[in-house]
């Protein structure tokens, strides 16, 4: 009886040692942000019309999710979920808006002045993480789902651009 109790205590202690409450808490925040309701553009006569409020809400949502994901990658480099975070970063819409013109309702995204330098820095960082992911050994915690997503991105990037003139 005592041996079983000791084994159970050891097993529970080992399981707790493998979990990181801080990582779990941040991951819960990441998941909640990703599941949060997306802003919706205004509808006029059945068509979506972009407004400055919508664009600012998309900008805020993208930055929030991106910042949480990047924080997870930075703070918990040994957690296997970091690779899921990297894949999510690569697919996260994260514009950096400097200014929105008054004519956004008619011009849409063309009325937006984006901070291209900040976007480039962010994209370079995410691409560096993707390169690390591509070279990560499978036992390093890269899930099958993440491997599949990475493979699909690699195949997509390797395809030649569609020649729209030839298709017409």
Task: Give per-residue pLDDT as tens, 54-75.
Answer: 999 999 999 999 999 999 999 9
pLDDT in tens, 105-154: 999 889 999 999 999 999 999 999 988 887 766 545 666 776 676 666 65
Q: pLDDT at position 18, please?
A: 57
Say whether pTM exceeds 0.95. Answer: no
Kindly report the average pLDDT of the chain as a whole number.
Answer: 80
Whether the per-residue pLDDT at 6 is higher than 50: the answer is no
Query: Model confidence at 104, in pLDDT bands (50, 70, 90)?
Result: very high
Answer with the residue of higher pLDDT: 5 or 39.
39
pLDDT in tens, 76-87: 998 988 988 998
In which region does residue 122 sit, left (phi positive, over 0), alpha (psi from -120 to 50) or beta (all else)?
alpha
Whether the per-residue pLDDT at 29 is higher than 70: the answer is yes
Cβ-based neighbours of 107, under 8 Å, separated by 6 or more? 101
Rounded-to-integer distance, Cα 41 and Cα 54, Å: 6
Residue/partner pairs of 152-161 with CB below 8 Å, 24 or more apart: 153/90
Q: pLDDT at position 138, please?
A: 58
Residue with tokens 């890269």: 142
Residue with tokens 């990475």: 150
Encoding tokens for residue 155? 């195949």
Query: Model confidence at 96, in pLDDT bands (50, 70, 90)?
Result: confident
Rounded-to-integer distance, Cα 135 and Cα 114, Å: 32
Pairing state between β 42-44 and 47-49: antiparallel
Query: Model confidence at 1, in pLDDT bands (50, 70, 90)?
Result: very low
CA distances from 40 to 36, 54, 69, 107, 109 (A): 12, 7, 23, 17, 15
HSE, side-chain direction, 13 A CA sphere, residue 130: 17
């Amino acid at each position: 009886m005592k041996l079983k109790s000791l084994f159970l205590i050891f097993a529970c202690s080992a399981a707790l040692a493998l979990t990181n409450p801080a990582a779990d808490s941040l991951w819960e925040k990441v998941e909640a942000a990703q599941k949060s309701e997306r802003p919706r553009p205004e509808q006029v006569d059945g068509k979506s019309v972009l407004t400055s409020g919508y664009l600012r809400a998309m900008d805020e949502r993208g930055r929030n999710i991106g910042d949480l994901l990047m924080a997870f990658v930075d703070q918990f480099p040994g957690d296997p979920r970091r690779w899921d975070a990297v894949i999510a970063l690569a697919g996260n819409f994260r514009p950096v808006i400097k200014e929105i013109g008054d004519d956004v309702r008619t011009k849409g995204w063309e009325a937006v002045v984006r901070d291209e330098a900040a976007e480039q820095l962010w994209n370079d960082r995410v691409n560096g993480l993707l390169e690390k992911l591509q070279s990560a050994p499978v036992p390093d915690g890269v899930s099958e789902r993440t491997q599949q997503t990475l493979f699909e991105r690699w195949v997509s990037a390797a395809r030649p651009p569609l020649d729209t003139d030839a298709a017409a």
